[in-house]
Amino acid sequence: MSMKILVVDDSATDRVLIERILSEYDVLTACDGVDAMKQIDANNEIGLIILDLNMPRMNGFEVLKVLKSEEKYEGIRTIILTNYDELDNEIKGLELGAVDYIRKPIHLASLKTRVGIHLELIKIQRRLEQKLVEQRSTFDTIFNQAPIGISISYSSDSSDAISDVDTQINSMFEQIAGRTKEEMIELGWANITHPEDLEKDLEYYRKLKSGEIESYAMEKRFVRPDGSIVWVEMTVASLKLMGESEIAHIALLKDITRRKAIEENLKYSYEHDSWTGLYNRNYMENLLESDSRRGFHEKRAVVSINLSAMQSLTTTYGFHYTQELNKKIADILGQYCNGGRVLFNIYENRFAFYIKGYEDKNELTEFSEEIAKTLEPLLITERISGGIGIVEIDEENGRDVDGLLKKLLITSERAIDIDNREIGICFYDAAIEEQMVREQEIKRALTEIAADESYSRLFLQYQPIIELKTDVIIGFEALSRLNIDKLGLIPPLEFIPIAEKTKLIVPIGRRIMLQAFRFLKRLNDLGYSSIGVSINVSAIQILRDDFTSSLFRMIEDARVHPEKICIEITESVVASNYEEMNRILGKLSDSGIHIAIDDFGTGYSSLARERDLNVNCLKIDKSFINRLMYLKSEEAITSDIISMAHKLGHCVVAEGVEYQKQREYLERWGCDKIQGYLISKPLNEEAAIEFLKTYNHW
């Protein structure tokens, strides 16, 4: 007679999942207890039931009671489905006649293994019942050749020893345990069980012997003679044999050592950073959530060490240099771990301590100061900065782990910019909370801009650029502005980084370019065909596959000349992906578009790369222009920058010119163009056109 498996679960998803796992078997399904009983009564071939406990109409416990109450269901074995926190339900289910349990979420290999064991058990039991008297040799063949370990005990003795007379052990059991039958009989199974698993095993076994349960299943370890450990999946059950007055017990074993090793490796990989060996963000989140559920019995805080500036070292020295430095820092920080402090590697180049049981805020400050003092020599050597952010955990923020880690990240980034030292220290407070709310408002506005082209809160102003030799306006720099009802006018230095972080810079950048091109077209229509427009563009925009094609299409649609367009990029943008960026810039330059390096002198470009870079112009950063007000002429290096740029064949524009003294210096040293408040502040479109008419006397 073929054997069928009945899967009973009100979750269609779980039924399909189990049916797929057991696709090699003949599987029936039922959506609740009522449907299950109908199928059981209609199919006498059902030998194994996989039963969910929580179902409508008739739950799993009620099904178990019916199966236990009537003799006709005696040959059916039931595996119950439970959740990890339902120990009481597991025990109750076993007491009602279930032979095993499987916990959700279902482990595929475990389910298949357990079902295989139980089906093997059913087969063995049926064969024993049908043929024990007539074909004892058949039983011996199955017993000795079965691919699983089998032990059958006929003894009624309640001791934990194995009796020589009353026990059968097959060769696979001997192979798994690494001991002969005689050795195991002499020692007893309790003495070869791993001490950490023994108490649980004994408790189950006592219940089995007393009749409280008919079977149990567990994963346990045997200790072999050489001290090595073998993991087994073991099922122990009462066994009624024909012609025997006493109840025997059968134990089925499957060696799962290899599977356990894989699980441990996967668990380690999931919880640890592969390079430093520290616990990772996954483990930290789980630990924070677990502690939050237990309640707040002691002070808790997270302290983040943000060394994101190390990423710049990768550009200069390579990936392996940064990784080795990262590992070195992990070893240094590891010295501060103790029973109340756990160290994590939560992001790239970012670490965090989870601290429990500290006394007060002063203790956290002292600890952070000590960390900063230890790391400062290393940071000074590498010429990078860092920040330590501290967030104290309370009942409110402790329940939102994702929000807590977000606050930690923001606080540590804020710490980088304070204290005028290599590594600043900052506590999360109301001001940072306010800044988070502000950023959310800006993100919301940027999202609306990206979705609605009629959104008028994003607009451009235009700052004139004059040619020093002729003292006429030869172009404008388009400067984006954002006006939000709740926050007012937002400077680009605040909203552009947020747009880049959220990738909204792509649709917003397109809006900015379209507005700038319309202004350029208007200038041309008014007769100012020699005037150009400069537009700032980010790396995120340029490195998109469709950037150049989209830009050329916008230029064509706007009916403007590429020669009157200047794309401004920063030095750091080029350094981040030099080869690809230079290729794209070359394509733009070939079309006639001018390319300028903005904020020159503040980034990471080298002079060697500057020579080969496809750019036409260098814009000297305002910080160099400001120094002209207090440095002697021979001390300022601005003249050297101008000379160097000219030797490279580049035009030079000075930004932020506010005083006549600065203009005179720049004229004396041959600077080509200037812009700044000495000429004009950024102007709205109409005002820019009027200023152009007046300044150029046209």
Q: pLDDT of 95-141, one tens digit each?
A: 999 988 888 888 888 888 888 888 888 887 777 666 655 656 666 77
Checking 101-108 for CB contacts under 8 A at 24+ apart, the result is 101/217, 102/50, 104/14, 106/14, 106/17, 106/18, 106/21, 106/81, 108/21
Q: Give me the mean pLDDT over the 283-295 stretch.
A: 86
Q: Both tokens of residue 257?
A: 């050592």
Q: What is the pLDDT of residues 451-467, one digit of tens each?
A: 876 567 889 999 999 99
Residue 309 pLDDT greater than 90, yes or no:
no
Top mean-pLDDT range of 195-199, 273-277, 295-299: 195-199
Q: Which residue has the higher pLDDT, 539 or 526?
A: 526
Residue 367 has pLDDT above 80, yes or no: yes
What is the pLDDT averaged over residues 682-686? 94
Provide the pLDDT for residue 162.
Answer: 43
Which CATH architecture fits 1-106? 3-Layer(aba) Sandwich (3.40)
Class of domain 136-260: alpha beta
Q: What torsion, rounded to 10 degrees, do the Cα atoms 608, 613, 615, 620 define?
A: -30
Task: Print burial letters for 206-215: b (CB count within 10 Å at least 16), e (below 16).
Answer: ebbbeeebbb
Give the model's pLDDT for residue 165. Answer: 46
pLDDT tens for each residue of 473-510 = 999 999 999 988 888 888 888 888 888 888 888 889 99
% of residues, the chain, pLDDT over 70:
92
Average the pLDDT over 559-569 and give the result. Answer: 94
Residue 82 has pLDDT above 70, yes or no: yes
User: Alpha-carbon distance 177 to 223, whole Å?
Assistant: 8
Q: Tell how strand 673-674 and strand 651-654 pair up.
A: parallel
CATH level 2 (architecture), domain 440-695 = Alpha-Beta Barrel (3.20)
- The more confidently predicted of residues 333 and 429 is 333
**What CATH architecture does domain 272-428 belong to?**
2-Layer Sandwich (3.30)
- Mapping DSSP to helix (H, G, I), strand (E, B) and coil, where does residue 241 land? coil
Answer yes or no: are the C-beta atoms of 364 and 393 closer than 8 Å.
no
Give the residue, 200 or 453, on which the prediction is more confident: 200
What's residue 175's pLDDT?
A: 92
Helices (H), 483-636: 492-501, 505-525, 539-542, 547-558, 571-576, 578-590, 607-612, 622-626
CA 248 – CA 237 distance, rounded (Å): 9
Q: What residue spans in the chain does CATH classification 3.40.50.2300 cover?
A: 1-106
Span 532-550, mean pLDDT?
A: 91
324-387-498 Cα angle (round to 5): 100
Q: If you average pLDDT over each of 275-284, 304-313, 422-431, 514-523, which comes out highest?
A: 514-523
pLDDT the model gives residue 691: 95
Place 563 in a pLDDT band, splitting at 50, 70 and 90. very high
Q: Are strands 279-280 and 341-347 parallel, antiparallel or unpaired?
A: parallel
pLDDT in tens, 10-51: 988 888 989 888 888 899 999 999 999 999 998 888 989 999
- Residue type for 61, please? F
Q: Is the pLDDT of residue 163 over 50?
A: no
pLDDT at 138: 62
pLDDT at 157 over 90: no
Question: Which amino acid is present at 486?
Answer: K
CA 490 to chain CA mean position, Å: 31
pLDDT at 630: 84
Query: pLDDT at position 164, please?
Result: 43
pLDDT of residue 355: 93
**Sheet strands side by side (includes 77-83):** 26-30, 4-8, 46-52, 77-83, 100-104
**What pLDDT, in 10s, does the model give residues 631-679?**
777 778 888 889 988 988 899 999 999 999 999 999 999 999 999 999 9
Q: Which tens digits make up the pLDDT trace of 208-234?
A: 888 889 899 999 999 999 999 999 999
Alpha helices by DSSP H, listed for 70-161, are 87-95, 108-131, 136-145
Q: State how far the Cα of 429 lies from the Cα of 109, in Å rounded to an integer.
A: 49
User: Which range has the worst mean pLDDT, 324-328, 483-487, 557-561?
Assistant: 483-487
> Which residues in the chain are classed under CATH 3.30.450.20?
136-260
d(C-alpha 575, C-alpha 578), whole Å:
5
Provide the sign of the torsion angle of the four alpha carbons 12, 15, 20, 23, taken in this order: negative
Beta strands, E only, 201-247: 215-223, 229-239
Banded model confidence at residue 159, pLDDT cuts 50, 70, 90 = very low
What is the mean pLDDT of the segment spanning 509-516? Answer: 92
Q: What is the pLDDT of residues 571-614, one digit of tens each?
A: 766 666 778 888 999 999 999 999 998 877 665 455 556 667 88
